[in-house]
Structure 1
């Protein structure tokens, strides 16, 4: 029999993360486009990001039919957070000549599936791309980064908002994520974690 789950954070009731999820306002509007394969992942960080930001939404799918209306939201500059040769490094709003805040589109999935989302949604692929500059090492201690500088979705969102809206900090958004990681490590045991992931106990 499946364990009862919290309808909001989707975690088992005994491990509900809702008390740790903040309610943070931002100038930036964040839209997380999640590949369907990520929804059942134990560490669904895009969902945590969407729950912790008042100006964020999560959509699940491969093809997003309402993308045109979404991108036409008045008062925002739509961009997609995705690396590439033509991607511009994010800069603080107070250093930008354009007064409009960003509509930050964030694909959520493995690199291959995130690229597939761009391919299947030409409007998304046509958007200007932005990327993070210097980033700290990921706190995602349970998954080996596919390349240097790779972050989980929630970490990427926090880093982007910290840059854009400096000196305001969005680090509080990481509290449920870190608790989730700690819980997974506790469940597997310190020795198993150290053996499989090279971490300390």
Structure 2
């Protein structure tokens, strides 16, 4: 018998995060393109970001037939938040004439690259990237490299750069609670043995 699930945050009712999810406004629009393999992941941080930002939209799929319309919003310049050749460091005032539409692929690095491959319009977008040296709070998954962040962490950092001095830290509250809940569920010993970086 499966546990009752919250239809909004998709967590078990006993661990619903909705009370922690803020409703934050932003000038920047966020378009999250989520690989289907992430939808039922226990730590679906893209969903948390989409729920917490009034100007965020979450789409799930591998090929997005309506991508042209999604990327060409009047008054917005689309940028792909993804490292790679030619990626510009994201900075305050990155887009001057129009507002910013930040396109964020969500999935493992391999799945995110697949989304770019299957959607050539994405690959053609100008790329922006975050400054190096960020430390993830995602204590349950080994980062593939330095500066690797969860989707919600990357969005918070990007918004805090583009829309400085405004803080979007409230968006991390449900994320932190999610991590703490997972650690609690696995037990302190298991966490220390498999995930803790402390010696």
Into which bin does the TM-score normalised by the smaller protein fall? over 0.9
1:105 is aligned to 103
- Matched residue, 1:116: 114
Give the structure 2 partner of residue 57 of structure 1. Answer: 57
Checking the alignment, whether the CA contact within 8 Å between 1:135 and 1:159 is kept in structure 2 is no
Instruction: Give the drift of 1:11.
Output: 0.3
Residues 193 and 199 of structure 1 are in contact (CA less than 8 Å); yes or no, is this contact kept in structure 2? no
* TM-score for both structures, normalised by structure 2: 0.97
User: What residue in structure 2 maps to residue 24 of structure 1?
Assistant: 24
Structure 1-normalised TM-score?
0.96
Gaps of 5+ in 1: none
Aligned CA distance change for structure 1 residues 44 and 53 (closer, same or farther; 3 Å): same
1:138 corresponds in structure 2 to 136
Contact map agreement 1:46 1:154 (CA 8 A) in 2: yes
* 1:190 maps to which of 173, 188, 195: 188
Q: What's the offset of the Cα at 1:72? A: 1.3
Deviation at 1:76, TM superposition (A): 0.4
2:139–2:196 CA contact under 8 A, matched in 1: no
SS across alignment from 1:43: coil
The answer for the alignment partner of 2:166 in structure 1 is 168
Q: Secondary structure of the residue that 1:7 maps to in structure 2?
A: coil
Q: How many residues are aligned here?
A: 198
Equivalent-residue separation in structure 2 for 1:134 and 1:53 (angstroms)? 25
Compute the displacement of 1:38 (Å). Answer: 0.3
1:147 aligns with 2:145: yes
Q: Distance in 2 between matches of 1:103 and 1:143?
A: 29
Counterpart in the other structure of 2:10:
10
SS at match of 1:163: helix
Shift of 1:135: 4.2
Q: What displacement does 1:136 show? A: 2.5
